[in-house]
Structure 1
Amino acid sequence: MQDEFEKQFAQLKERLKAANCKAKVTKNNNSLGLQATLPLKPGDQDQKGTGTKQYLISLGIPANLDGLKTAEEEAYELGKLIARKTFAWNEKYLGVKSKRKLEVKTFGELLERFESEYFKNHKRTIKSEHSFNNYLKELKRRIPLEQLATSNNLLQILDTTEPESYPRRNLAISISIFAKYFDIDVNIAEYLKRPKAQKRNIPSDSQIESAYLGYEQYANSRQKRGIKNRKFEDNWKIYRWIYGMLATYGLRPRELFLRPNIEWWLSTQNINSTWKVDELAKTGEREVLPLHERWIELFDLKNEEICIAVAKYFTDSISYTRLNSNKLANCNWFKKAKCGFTPYDLRHAWAIRAHLIGIPIKAASENLGHSVQMHTNTYQKWFSLDNRKTAIDTATAKQDMMKVLESRVKELELENQRLKIIIERLELEKQVIK
């Protein structure tokens, strides 16, 4: 039945095209609608100065064989109105969404409905909840709830942010998602420019090793001051273990919080000391290799007692709220231990270190759980002058070594030829003596 529908849908589109109809039939989820360039809808902005805009019109026609017939009739009817220049926005073409938009007055009212509208089109997962809560947090922080929900007000709010900054881009993305669900016509393309890379403090290997000691130092100083809640007395060991794993494997923090597979981690079968990222993580499941294996021992990452404590501590970390709480706690521990950098700086450091020691970009990006393009665009820009110098010095040293080896090979070849001549001469002398 579905194949027959798709076949007839394709034929319908060809008929409309052959008839030069000004309207097209579109399919969205389980309903059919129309698409056409029309005079501006009341209240919409004339961004291009043409007086027209391309619109998608939802008529609530079901996406089935009977619906195709109805949709074709509607397309021809709309096409005639456009051709005769007699089209006018009426209740039929404005649709339910536009009437609902007129009923809701403020951003506060819309934000109360944002979650239910968003998850009508998104399956609830850890990833989708994380995305939604980021949008909601950004909107609530920036948008006056009592203001009318208009495109002009949204643009004015965006104009209060610094041009080409991360706050502007993040807010613009959140507004675009929000506006889509409530049919607010707003053009934010100019607010989505990627910001220039900010300076980032990427720690060296020695700094990473030194910062590890800060956890125990803080714990000892806390003992002297007295601990209010004995239940959390040894939490520093858990978050120090998190620190060591982030440094050694370049993981995202949530890839340790989300159903940590300690059984595999401590298994005798885990001969390569890989960390298994759970399937619910941002980019799905994967198996991650360490870069500095010596850090596994240095940071005591296979300590069975601590690993079991980690498994218990993060047992119920499968909700956005719990994951976010763990993320904030981890950031706080970085501050308490006076690391001098953030959890994600360890991920950047892993990527840069991998490049410096010659790990192919494809292998490094797969280990980190992202695309080669993402790896190149994101991590190569954090190369400091020192890192570039190290990379150049290493490459130059390799070239110098190659020249030395080539020269040595030539010397050995000449020596080999000389020895062959000596052997041949000795053989001749031997024959003469006989």
Structure 2
Amino acid sequence: MNVIQEINNVNDKFATKGSKLRIEKRGETLNIRGSLPSKNDKNDFAVQRISLGLKADFNGLEEAKKKLQLITLQLELNQFDWINWVKISDKKEKKEEFKFLTRLNDFEKYFFRENKNEYLTSTRKTTWRSSYKPYINRMISIQNDTKTDNLDNIFTTTLKTYKEGSRSRKQCATSLSVLAKFLEHKLPEDWKLMAKGYGLNKASFRNLPTDEIIENLWENIPNKSWKYVFGLMATYGLRNHEVFFCDLSSLTNSGDKIIRVLPTTKTGEHQVWPFHPKWIDKFELCELGKDPELLPKINRDLRVTTLQNIGKKITDQFKRYSLKIKPYDLRHAWAVRTIFYDLPDTVAARMMGHSVSLHTQTYHHWITKRDQQQAVNNALSKYKKREIF
């Protein structure tokens, strides 16, 4: 009897016992082939192959039978793990992959560990979903595709999947910098240079709505409650969700019209002044000072929803009314407006709830134009004075 016949006999015996695995001869070596758990999801089975590294002879077959019995038992006890069956040359790589994934899980636990306050926890959930999870998922995908354990390559490749000069690339760099610090991994020296690019691109800054367009859009919103939302965002440069987390008590005829964004928001408590002040009357915002419940009735309980979900409702409503601008266009337009009111950048940044460096990066184009215009005006003024004398 030759080896192939004996392999067939062995496979028949295992098949009668209900086994979905069999020994196969490929070239001069033996493998086990059949329905096995996915490497990424142990509950997902597919036909796969385990290389045994055994010679295709009778001695090798005896060893293969023992391996087959062991694998069958592991499957029955739900104890099968691919790390025990990869080639020795692959085992180090596999362990590194598992170690990498474990560290990412540790980072997520660390991210939430210090927050016991319900509202802060909800805010952190929003931040995790929007500012960390997408980039970490992409890192995992890149690690799986490249099969590399070189963290420099994983970090750099992940960053470069985002377009240069895009906001996503800058956010990715910021989030991965936090992760790198947790992993005690030193990023490449040119990381900040590669990350550069937060802010509005040329197309965006040219297409910001004018004051006239903003006023016309407000007029065309059919629902009074949503007109208040639009008016608040235009006049105070609020983020989507911040509209529903403000102290509006100053919006009365005798109030100072300075609204307070509550600490439950993304960047915490801060005060905001109106630009243009005349829009308070134009958009009838004093009505909110009398009754803040005039805003749309949406679920604001951060124990059951998130800031991101609340913000999305505004985005959806803009689309529903075919406003042809994005909610954040109102915020950007407000920021540019403050520049030409000559409001100091440090003050504007504080009102927007972000850093001065982020403010100057994002609105660099208009800030530069303002400063240059001021310099030109000063030069012209001096020249006219010389002409007089």
Q: Identify the TM-score tier after normalising by the shorter chain.
A: 0.5 to 0.7
- Structure 1 regions of 5+ residues with no counterpart? 1-100, 217-235, 411-434
Superposed CA offset, 1:75-123 (max 9, x none): xxxxxxxxxxxxxxxxxxxxxxxxxx95861765555554223233566
| RMSD, aligned α-carbons | 4.4
Match of residue 57 from structure 2: none
**Deviations along 1:397-420, whole A, 9 cap, x unmatched?**
9959x97xx98xx9xxxxxxxxxx
**Aligned in 2, Cα 1:351/1:118: closer, same or farther, shift over 3 Å?**
closer
The verdict on how the C-alpha distance between 1:269 and 1:335 changes in structure 2, with shifts beyond 3 A counting, is: same
Q: Match for residue 125 of structure 2?
A: 129
Q: Deviations over 1:301-353 (max 9, x none)?
A: 2335973142853542x369421012112122233333333222222222222
Inter-CA distance 150–342: structure 2 relative to 1 (3 Å threshold) = same
Matched letter for residue 308 of structure 1: E
Query: Are positions 1:246 and 2:230 aligned together?
Result: no
Output the CA distance in 2 between the equivalents of 1:110 and 1:149: 16
Alignment of structure 1 residues 107-118 onto 2, 5 Å: 111-118=104-111
Kindly indicate whether the alpha-carbon contact (under 8 Å) linking 2:251 and 2:259 is maintained by their aligned counterparts in 1. no
1:120 pairs, out of 104, 109, 113, with 113
Structure 1 residues 136 and 361: CA distance shift in structure 2, 3 A: closer
Contact map agreement 2:236 2:275 (CA 8 A) in 1: yes
Matches of 2:359 and 2:210 in 1, distance apart? 19
Query: In the alignment, is the contact (CA less than 8 A) between 2:259 and 2:273 conserved in 1?
Result: yes
TM-superposition CA deviations, 1:117-175 (whole Å, max 9, x none)? 32335666255434333201322255329826833561474275156343444334434
Equivalent residue, structure 2, for 1:335: 319
Letter in 2 for 1:307: P
1:171 corresponds to: 172
Q: After TM superposition, list the pairs within 5 Å mapping 1:328-367 onto structure 2.
A: 328-367=312-351
> Secondary structure of 2:363's partner?
helix
Kindly provide the amino acid, as one letter, of the partner of residue 214 in structure 2.
Answer: I
Amino acid across the alignment from 1:291: F
SS at match of 1:287: strand
Quote the offset at 1:256 in angstroms. 1.8
The answer (yes or no) to whether the contact 2:165–2:198 under 8 Å persists in 1 is: yes
Distance 1:311 1:333 in 2: 11
Counterparts of 1:306 and 1:358, CA distance in 2: 33
Between the aligned partners of 1:121 and 1:307, the Cα distance in structure 2 is: 33
Letter in 2 for 1:190: D
2:221 is paired with a residue whose SS is helix
Question: Shift in Å at residue 246 of structure 1?
Answer: 1.2
* Residues 142 and 210 (structure 1), Cα distance of their counterparts in 2 relative to 1, 3 Å cut: farther
Question: Are residue 210 (structure 1) and residue 196 (structure 2) matched?
Answer: no
Q: Is the 8 A contact 1:291 1:354 kept in 2?
A: yes
Q: Secondary structure in 1 aligned to 2:271?
A: strand
Query: Is this contact kept in 1: 2:271–2:351, CA < 8 A?
Result: yes
The 2-side partners of 1:398 and 1:314 are apart by 56
> Match for 1:337: what amino acid?
Y
| Contact 2:139-2:154 at 8 Å conserved across structures | no
Structure 1 residues 250 and 168: alpha-carbon distance in aligned structure 2, compared to 1, 3 A threshold:
closer
Structure 2 residue 196 is matched with structure 1 residue 194: yes
CA contact (8 A) 1:129 1:320 kept: no
Contact 2:143 2:149 in 1 (8 A): no
Task: Decide which of 136, 140, 155 is 1:139's aligned counterpart.
Answer: 136
Contact 1:164 1:191 in 2 (8 A): no
Structure 2 CA distance for partners of 1:122 and 1:321, relative to 1, 3 Å: same
Cα 1:380–1:144 shift into 2, 3 Å: closer
Query: How far 1:372 moved relative to its partner?
Result: 4.5
Is the contact made by 2:142 and 2:154 (CA closer than 8 Å) also made in structure 1?
A: no
What secondary structure, in the 3-state scheme, does the structure 1 residue paired with 2:239 have? Answer: coil
Q: Provide the C-alpha distance between the structure 2 equivalents of 1:111 and 1:202, rounded to a whole number of angstroms.
A: 39
Native 8 Å contact 1:208 1:247 kept in 2: yes
Of 98, 122, 143, which residue of structure 2 is paired with 1:105?
98
Percent identity of equivalent pairs: 28
Q: 2:85: which partner in 1?
A: none
Kindly provide the CA deviation profile for residues 33-60 of structure 1, in whole angstroms up to 9, marking residues without a partner as x: xxxxxxxxxxxxxxxxxxxxxxxxxxxx
Map 1:331-410 to 2 at 5 A: 331-382=315-366, 395=377, 399=381
Q: Which residue of 1 aligns with 2:292?
A: 307
Q: Measure, in 1, the Cα distance between the counterparts of 2:342 and 2:143.
A: 56
Instruction: Return closer, same or farther for 1:111/1:249 CA change in 2, 3 Å cut-off.
Output: same
Report the number of matched residues: 281
Mind listing any 5+ residue stretches in structure 2 that lack a counterpart? Answer: 1-93
For 2:101 and 2:350, locate their aligned partners in 1 and report how far apart those are by CA, in whole Å.
Answer: 42
Determine the structure 2 residue equivalent to 1:54.
none
Q: Deviations over 1:159-194 (max 9, x none)?
A: 75156343444334434434554x474634434431
Normalising by structure 2, report the TM-score: 0.57
TM-score w.r.t. the length of structure 1 is 0.52
8 Å Cα contact 1:154/1:175 also seen in 2: no
> Is the CA contact 2:265–2:307 (under 8 Å) kept in the aligned structure 1?
no
Taking the TM superposition and a 5 Å limit, the aligned residue runs for 1:87-106 are: 105=98
Instruction: Quote the residue 1:161 is aligned against.
Output: 161
Q: 1:261 aligns with which of 242, 247, 258?
A: 247
Residue 208 of structure 1: CA displacement? 1.1
Q: Which moved more, 1:204-213 or 1:126-135?
A: 126-135
